[in-house]
Amino acid sequence: MAKTRKTVSEDAVNVSLTPFETVYCNPMLLVGRMQSEALRATLERQVEMVDFLRLRIEKDMRLAERLLQAREPGEVVSACTEFCSEAVEDYAREAFRNANLVPEVTSEAVEQVAREAEEISDELKAAALVVA
């Protein structure tokens, strides 16, 4: 009788796992897939960040070239204000993209960053026109 109970108990365990395995697959594979997706998403975001940094570094190098080619102080001021204006816009755009990853938490911050970036950019553009 004890042997029968053990067999029934083992069968009950096996039967209870069958729906889990057929509906959700192997739990170890499911966890592996979730981790793989998380890793993929993280790496994609890192690639985007590296692309953004590459773009900003290229713009930094162009600023250095413009400063070396400047012949008058007005050209230096113009180059710097244009550079700063573009940088503010680029960083605001990137901050906006990052903030939209969690929109319910950051919607106010995104709007404020966009407003401030637009104000600063407008001020820098106006300053560049005055100097030029």
- pLDDT band at 132, cuts 50/70/90? low
d(CA 121, CA 89) in angstroms, rounded, equals 7
Is 60 exceeded by the pLDDT of residue 17? no
| pTM for this entry | 0.54
Place of tokens 């042997």: 3
Cα angle 97-103-109, degrees, rounded to a multiple of 5: 75
Listed by start position, the domains of the chain span 9-131
pLDDT, tens digit, for every residue of 39-76?
A: 877 788 889 899 999 999 999 999 999 999 999 999 99
